[in-house]
Chain A
């Protein structure tokens, strides 16, 4: 019995199940009230956005500034579909269509720019996101600048959880595969990766399209949860916002992105009343990280669940060691 619990997969499963159940309980007992549920939804959506941008920027080394653009494609697609087809099936169709459309746009923008070395992608994605926003302002089907209202809400904690855990697991699985290593090799040294037989354009585009796909999912969840969309939600600042999470958590760290998404959302919930100050805070935070911890909170390291195991296992000896350390005042405390 003990052995089973020590395997990584089972430990992961137990941890996830507990997270789900505990939060579900907190919601049904209204300890996490409607307001905090919004925070929870924002956290989940930001986790998906940050982890998928991290795949592009942190792991593959391609600087993208258009994540809000992909998100908006997912959001509007899902909204338009569910407004006409307000069923669970319509919702799934909306999420899927939104993600595929975002991926498609990602492919069209990524293929020509990612062939080139250098930061053409940043400029292209910046332009792309702006163009998408302007298109949404001018289209009839998106109801222009006023946006869409009364989008049917199908997203609850269960779906947030499933989609967030799902995308994070798929992306981290990908990164642990040979295809994922090919992406990471490009970040490390594009010339060497090329010389070692890796089709660098193919893998840059692959990472970029996967990232766009997931951003599309995040957008669809956003539309369905917050049931109101307007183009200006998805402006340049939104893309920067996601980038801040990725940089704060650490380029190349999935768990870093998750922590940072949670941390920043909690901070911004507490600063809700000071909306202008929030942007200043973000800017300050970025500057402070750049100065004191340019590699982000986690660097490129990952926290795995074995940490908890170690914590538990070392608890007793740890306590006595801590005492000794405090007494001798040596070592890192």
Chain B
């Protein structure tokens, strides 16, 4: 096992508010780790820092890929994506007026090998690459049972499928580290159970390391091997689901929200 992500003393302040404070996170290659905490604890902000949406006030983020260490702090989001970090959004951010297929194909753009000239003139390299791109996209959509809806507009999909499409789109960028921000939000228990299974499956299939923000404790406790708990921007606990369930500080942070019963 080797460390794939090392976050050290990550801090982000918005004016007077320190949304993320001195956060340390270490992920082993292939781990599935939960990131939980009350609303406003700073979970989404951590994702935004990891993916370059925000520049950290201080601290470092280091991604290790095949003995190469890349510093992610300060990189633009598209560059972070190219290093192999992909994400979904808490408030779904699909390309709504585009088809399901195009949503996935756009995420594959960084690997496209034909240039501007070929795109103007539709040269053979265009035809060859587009064919490949489309086939790969459809393969990916099959995993989420969306291949038969490839020509529908993303906005017309039911809510649960939109969440699935966001994951498919993130996978299309060919990541090593996948960040899922509340993927089960708004799903019913049956859908959540299905999603839980799916997340475990894609981790194996794509050889991924995953960080999962989730409010649904049944999902988190079931599939996460390790959990970080954030409160007021600080990591207040870090351990296995069983350790977290019985952690006094965690129970206090949730103030009566029952963690142990979940």
Tell me the A residues contacting B by CB distance below 8 Å.
170, 173-174, 176-182, 184-185, 188-189, 191-200, 206, 300
From B89, B110, B119, B129, give the contact of A192 (CB < 8 A).
Answer: B89
With A188-B95, A192-B93: A179-B77 Cβ-Cβ less than 8 Å: no
Q: List the B side residues contacting A195 at CB < 8 Å.
A: 51, 53, 77-78, 81, 86-87, 89, 93
Please give, as numbers and ranges, the residues of chain A lying within 8 Å of B253 by CB-CB distance: none
Is B17 at the interface (CB under 8 A from chain A)?
no
Interface string of B32-72 (1 = CB under 8 A from A): 00000000000000000001010000000000000000000
Q: Which residue on B lies nearest to A178, using beta carbons?
A: B112
Q: Is the CB–CB distance between B106 and A193 below 8 Å? A: yes
With contacts A195-B51, A197-B81 taken as known, whether A181 is within 8 angstroms of B102 at the C-beta atoms is: yes
B82 contacts partner chain A, Cβ-Cβ < 8 Å: yes
- B109: chain A residues within 8 A (beta carbon): 178-179, 181-182, 185, 196-198
Closest chain B CB from A55 CB (angstroms) = 12
Q: In the bound complex, what is the Cα–Cα distance between A189 and B107 (angstroms)?
A: 13
Q: Is B173 on the interface with A (CB-CB < 8 A)?
A: yes
In the complex, are the beta carbons of A181 and B107 less than 8 A apart? no
User: CA of A9 to CA of B173 in the docked complex: distance in angstroms?
Assistant: 32
**B107 adjacent to A197 (CB under 8 Å):** yes
Inter-chain contact B107/A174, CB cutoff 8 Å: no
B109 to A: closest C-beta gap in Å: 5
Q: Is the CB of B93 within 8 A of A189?
A: yes
A62, chain B: closest CB distance, angstroms? 16
Residues A177 and B53 in contact in the complex (CB < 8 Å), given A182-B109, A185-B95: no
B173 contact from A188, A196, A200, Cβ within 8 A: A196
Instruction: Looking at the assembled complex, report how far the CB atom of A330 sits from the nearest CB atom of chain B, in whole angstroms.
Output: 26
A173 x B130 contact (CB < 8 A): no
Q: In the complex, what distance in Å separates the CA atom of A200 from the CA atom of B169?
A: 17
Q: Flag whether B114 is at the interface (Cβ < 8 A).
A: yes
List, in ascending order, chain B residues with CB within 8 A of A184's CB. 95, 98, 102, 106
Residue among B53, B77, B86, B169 with max Cβ neighbours from chain A (10 Å): B77
Q: Do the beta carbons of A185 and B122 come within 8 Å of each other?
A: no
**CB atoms of B93 and A191 under 8 A apart:** yes
Q: Of residues B120, B126, B170, which shows the largest number of chain A Cβ atoms within 10 Å of its Cβ?
A: B120
**In the bound complex, how far is the Cα of B23 from the Cα of A163, in angstroms?**
59
Taking a contact as CB atoms closer than 8 A, the residue among A170, A173, A189 that contacts B95 in the complex is A189
For the complex with contacts A178-B130, A182-B106, A188-B97, 8 further pairs of A-B residues with Cβ separation under 8 Å are A174-B116, A178-B108, A192-B94, A196-B86, A197-B107, A197-B173, A198-B109, A198-B110
Most chain A beta-carbon contacts within 10 A, residue among B76, B109, B121: B109
- What is the CB-to-nearest-CB distance from B30 to chain A, in angstroms, rounded to a whole number? 23
A196-B105 in contact given A170-B120, A178-B114, A191-B53 (Cβ < 8 Å): no
Say how far B78's CB is from chain A's closest CB, in angstroms.
Answer: 5
Q: Ordered nearest first, which 8 A-B pairs have the shortest CB separation?
A: A177-B119, A197-B81, A188-B95, A197-B110, A192-B93, A194-B77, A196-B107, A178-B112
